[in-house]
Amino acid sequence: MEKQKAEQLERVSSPELDKVLGLPFKVLDDGFVRVVDYMGGDTSIVQAARVSYGKGTKSITDDRTLLRYLIRNRHTSPFEMCEIKLHVRVPMDCWRQWIRHRTANVNEYSTRYSIAIESAYKTEPDGWCKQALKNRQGSEGFFDEKTGAELSKKESELQKACFDEYNRKIEMGVAREQARKDLPLSTYTEAYWKIDLGNLLHFLELRMESKAQYEIRMYADVICDEVLKRWAPFSWEAFRDYRLETISLSKTDEKMIAAIVKNDPSEIDSLAKSMGYLQEKDGQVRKSRECLELEEKLARLNLKSPFKN
């Protein structure tokens, strides 16, 4: 069997990320994200990709071009060669969304073993959102500052009452695992969170999206623009270009755009019906979620919506 030539390898590092190792990036009022450790970077991704594409790749395509190709074509496995370990402090309700991402390794602060972190996320008077009418999962618009101030005051009082009762039980000797039932969901928790870059991009794509909740979006934004940008700048750039700031078109969307450009009213009408757009007799219209989402895409393309309001 032919012997492999010994190849001296250099450890891949990201000097820009090294500069901020361990430094917390503040998120919300008392949360943070800090990098504890990492493995690899842009170079390790292209290194891994070249194993599958062969040495010839180097001559025809540079690292940035190759990375953009990989992200554009969802060739994800080379990104799994990089790992990052973060230390995060997050309100428990936000953490509940975060922890749904199963492809990470997690170690969370234990409120069975330790006294809970006496800090809870507070919403500022201008940050109280109204329930969205159409999207049951979302919010739209804000309460006025006077109402917001009252809500913030109530929230502080409630959080204080919860912590007072929790501390009273702890002092009485009630088990920590039981006393913690009194803690509000806004209480901060901390965790070590380790994930590979491929799955991190998936997390960021879902959690930076405008429909994700504000709080988790704030964390995802910091991880993307403070951490990922320093760690793997070419991947960050390609991710923003091809995964984040893109729109995806269904076959029907595509046909609708063609019909709008061709100005074909009967095709527009038939496609609109197939998307759940209904014009009722009394002039009332009903737009399905699919129609509303298409309207958002058309607005980004500077095209007029074919649906009447």
Cβ burial of 306 (10 Å; 0-12, 13-18, 19+) is buried
Is residue 217 within the footprint of ligand FAD (CB under 6 A)?
Answer: no
Is residue 100 within the footprint of ligand FAD (CB under 6 A)?
Answer: yes
Q: How far is the CB of 25 from ligand FAD (least distance, A)?
A: 22
Q: How far is the CB of 146 from ligand FAD (least distance, A)?
A: 31
Among residues 180, 207, 230, 240, the one annotated as catalytic is: 207
Is residue 211 within the footprint of ligand FAD (CB under 6 A)?
Answer: yes
Query: Which of 8/210 has CB closer to ligand FAD?
Result: 210
Of 57, 61, 65, 199, the one binding ligand FAD (CB under 6 A) is 199
By beta carbon distance, the residue nearest ligand FAD is: 102
Query: Which of 39/212 has CB closer to ligand FAD?
Result: 212
Is residue 136 within the footprint of ligand FAD (CB under 6 A)?
Answer: no
Q: How far is the CB of 102 from ligand FAD (least distance, A)?
A: 3
96 is catalytic: no
Question: What is the number of alpha carbons within 13 Å of residue 37 lying toward its C-beta?
Answer: 4
Kindly state the tokens that stand for 16: 């820009």
Name the pairing type of β-strands 188-196 and 105-108: antiparallel
Is residue 289 within the footprint of ligand FAD (CB under 6 A)?
Answer: no
Is residue 64 within the footprint of ligand FAD (CB under 6 A)?
Answer: no
Q: For the chain, what's the residue count?
A: 309
Is residue 206 within the footprint of ligand FAD (CB under 6 A)?
Answer: yes
Show the DSSP H helices in the chain as ranges: 15-18, 42-53, 57-60, 63-72, 92-98, 145-172, 176-179, 197-207, 214-222, 229-231, 233-239, 251-262, 265-274, 289-300
Kindly state the tokens that stand for 103: 């492809």
Kindly state the tokens that stand for 261: 């450009």
Is residue 106 within the footprint of ligand FAD (CB under 6 A)?
Answer: no
Is residue 243 within the footprint of ligand FAD (CB under 6 A)?
Answer: no
Q: At what angle do helices 214-222 and 197-207 cross, to 10 degrees?
A: 140
Query: How many positions of this chain bind ligand FAD (CB under 6 A)?
Result: 9
Q: Contact 116/166 with Cβ under 8 angstroms? A: yes
Query: Which residues sit at the interface with ligand FAD, rule CB under 6 A?
Result: 100-103, 199, 202, 206, 211-212
Task: Point out the residues that are catalytic.
Answer: 207
